[in-house]
Structure 1
Amino acid sequence: MKRIGVLTSGGDSPGMNAAVRAVVRKAIYHDVEIYGVYNGYAGLIAGNIEKLELGSVGDIIHRGGTKLFTARCPEFKTVEGREKGIEQLKKFGIEGLVVIGGDGSYMGAKKLTEHGFPCVGVPGTIDNDIPGTDFTIGFDTALNTVIDAIDKIRDTATSHERTYVIEVMGRHAGDIALWAGLAGGAETILIPEADYDMEDIIDRLKRGHERGKKHSIIIIAEGVGSGVEFGEKIEKETQFETRVSVLGHIQRGGSPTAADRVLASRLGAYAVELLLEGRGGRCVGIQNNKLVDHDILEILDTEHTVDQSMYRLSKELSI
C-alpha cells in the first residue's frame, strides 16, 4: 500500500488533530503518501482531497477540533453516494482510508469495506460510547471540562444555598454524566442506561436539607431528558430554589488533555500499521492500556454499556 487517506467525521472531539498528526507522520515514516480528506464523507464525495506533508500537521497536536473539518453527509448513506466517494479515492490513487469518528463514521467505514475498499476506524467522540475500547479520543478532555464547570457552579450553589441541575452531553451514553458526577461529588446522577425514581430523588434532597445541607448538584445526561424540565420538577416538589445549567457544546472544544493526546497518537499510528498489513475492515481501541483491534462489523453490532458498579458507587457516596 503506497497511498492512504485520512478523514474526520461526525461530531468533533478534542484530540482528533493529534490523531490526524499521528496518521500523517506514521505513514510518511514508512514512505507512504498520505492524503487528507476535508469535510468528512461530504468532502470525500466532492473530491476535497489533498496530499499532506510533515509540515501540514505541525503545531496541531494541542489544538481542539479538527484540521480536516467535519460534516454530516446523508448522501453517503446511499449506495450512489458511496460509489462517488470510492471514485474519488481511486482518482487520487488512495488504497486505504483511516476514519476518525464515532459510530456513524464507523458505519461509513464498514460500508466502504463492503465495497472492497479497506478502512480502519479510530474512535473519536467525547461520548465514550464505542464498544471495544476503554476510552475514546476526546472523552477525557470533555470530562475535565465538565468537572471544571461543576466545581465553579458548586461555589455559586453554596453561596446562594441552591440546588443546581447540570445537563451534560450524552444522548445515548451516560459516561460523561457518570464519570463527571462521581468525580464532582454530585448528589444525583441520571444516565440513559439506568432507571431513576423521582420520588427517591426528592426524598434524598429533603433528607439532606433536614440535616443542614444547603445545596445540591444533580447531573443529568441529555439522553434522559431536558435539564430545564427536570429542574422545574425539582423546584415544584421541594420548594428549594433551583437553577439549571446546560453545558452544551463547550464540552466539545478546548485543548486536549495529555491523556487524549497520547491516546490519539497511539491509536492513529496503530490504524496506519493495520492498513500497511493489509487489514481493512477493522477498528482500533485501547483495553487495559494495550492497543487492540476488532472487526468493525462486530463492534457496530455490540451495545454500549456503562460500568454499573461505578453507578452504584456514586449512589453509595452521595448519601
Structure 2
Amino acid sequence: MKNSPIKHIGVFTSGGDSPGMNAALYAIAKTAETKGIKVSGIRKGYEGMIDGDIVPLEVHELQKLAHRGGTILKTARSQRFMQLEGRKKALQMLKDNNIDALIAIGGDGTFRGLLAFSEICDIPFIGIPGTIDNDISGTDYTLGFDSAVNTAIENIDKIRDTAESHNRVFIIEVMGRDSGYIGIHSGLTVGADAILIPESGEDFIHLLDKIKDYDNEEAFLVVVSEGDELGAELVASKIKEINPSVDLRITKLGHVQRGGNPSAFDRMLGIRLGVASVDALLKGKKNVMAGILNNQLRLTPFNQVVKQHSINKELQELLKIFGS
C-alpha cells in the first residue's frame, strides 16, 4: 500500500519453538513483498531485539524452509527484556534500524512482553499464537499444537505395541505445561485407559478404580499431562500401592513433541495467520493477536489473550465418558 505509514516490519519468534513458525514467517514475508513493505527478522526473540541481531528475510529462501519445524530465527527467553532498561535498549535498536511495526510469534509470555513494551513504544504490534500447549484464549488452535498431538499419537501407538507384547502398564507423560489439551487429544485418539490432565480432579479416582482390578492380561495405557499435579512418578507409585503385581513402565515424550516438520494443518494455520498479521497492520490495528475462532480470522487485544485457554465443556464430557 503506497499510502501505508508502515515501511519496515520486524518479525521475531519468542518463547518455546513450535512447528509452523517457519510457515508463518514465509507468509509474512510474501505478503509484505506484495505490498512493497520491507521485512527483517529479529533473531533470538527479545534478546536479539536488545542486541540488534537483525537480518533480512528473503521470500525465495523462506519458501524452501516453510516445511521445516523449529524456527529459523531462533528463539530465547530474555531476562533483560523484563527490565525497563532492556526494553529501552530494544526500542533504540528498532529506531536505529527504521523498523516501524512488529509481528511476534509466540505464547502468552511473548504477548505480556509486548504489553509491557507498549508502555514506552508506540509502534504497532501484532501477535501470532505459536505454542504447542494450545493454552491461549482468542484462538481455537495455536501454531504447533496439531503437530505436537500427531507426534504424541505416533509415539504412543508404538508404545502400545510393546505394552501389548508384555501385558504392561505404561504411563506416558506428554507436554502442555498447565494445559491438558495435548493430553486429552492424544489420550482419547489412542484409546488410552486413563487420561490425567490439570483441569480435572476426578480423572485420578477413575484410574485407581480401574487399576485395582487390572489382571496383567492386556496392555494398560495412562496418558498424563506434564502439568497434572500428581506427575508420572507419583501416579506410578499410587498404582503400585493399589495393585503391586503390575509390570509398569514410565515414558516421558518430552521435547520430541516440539520437533519435526509441521502438519498440513499447522502449515496452513501459519500461512493464514501470517497473511492476517500483515493485513491487520495495514488496517491500522495494534496490540492485537491474530487467531482463528470457528474457522474465521479474529483479532483479540493482548490484554485478553494472556488468559489461560481452558478445556471446554465438550472435551470435559468426552473425558468423563472415555475415562470412566
Residue of structure 2 equivalent to 1:221: 225
CA distance in 2 between counterparts of 1:48 and 1:38 reads 6
Checking the alignment, whether the CA contact within 8 Å between 1:110 and 1:119 is kept in structure 2 is no
Q: Report what 2:3 is aligned to.
A: none
2:249 matched to 1:249? no
Q: How much identity, in percent, do the aligned residues show?
A: 43
Partner of 2:46: 41
Supply the RMSD in Å over aligned alpha carbons.
1.5
1:72-83 matched pairs, under 5 angstroms: 72-83=77-88
How do 1:68-147 and structure 2 match up within 5 A? 68-115=73-120, 116-147=122-153
Aligned partners of 2:20 and 2:270 also within 8 Å:
yes
Which residues in structure 2 correspond to 1:259-298 (within 5 Å)? 259-298=265-304
CA distance in 2, matches of 1:296, 1:197: 33
The whole-number CA distance in structure 1 between the counterparts of 2:153 and 2:50 is 39
Provide the C-alpha distance between the structure 1 equivalents of 2:114 and 2:153, rounded to a whole number of angstroms.
Answer: 33
Partner in structure 2 of residue 63 of structure 1: 68
- Runs of 5+ unmatched residues, structure 2: 1-5
Whole-angstrom CA distance in 2 between matches of 1:113 and 1:275: 15
Match of 1:205 in 2: 211
Structure 1 residue identity aligned to 2:242? E
Give the Cα separation in 1 of the matches to 2:305 and 2:226.
24
Task: Report the 3-state secondary structure (helix = DSSP H, G, I; strand = E; otherwise coil) of the residue aligned with 1:114.
Answer: coil
Asked whether the equivalents of residues 166 and 227 of structure 1 are also in contact (C-alpha less than 8 Å), the reply is: yes
How far did residue 198 of structure 1 move? 4.2
Contact preservation (8 Å) 2:196, 2:203: no
Residue 57 of structure 1 and its aligned partner are, at CA, apart by: 1.2
Whole-Å separation in 2 of the counterparts to 1:318 and 1:119: 42
Structure 1 outlier segments of 4+, above 3 Å: 196-200
Identify the match of residue 2 of structure 1 among 4, 7, 15.
7
Q: How far apart, CA to CA, are the structure 2 residues paired with 1:250 and 1:110? A: 31
Deviations 1:209-231 (A, max 9, x none): 36x85221111111114312321
Decide whether the 8 Å contact of 2:138 with 2:304 is kept in 1.
Answer: no
Report whether the alignment pairs 1:176 with 2:203.
Answer: no
| C-alpha deviation, 1:318, in angstroms | 4.5
Paired residue secondary structure (1:43): helix
Gaps of 5+ in 1: none
Match status 1:233 vs 2:238: yes
CA contact under 8 A between 2:134 and 2:309: conserved in structure 1?
A: no
Q: Which residue of 2 aligns with 1:303?
A: 308
SS at 1:230 equivalent = helix
Contact persistence 1:8–1:16 (CA under 8 A): yes
CA contact (8 A) 2:290 2:298 kept: yes
TM-score, structure 1 as length reference: 0.95
TM-superposed CA distance for 1:275, in Å, is 1.0
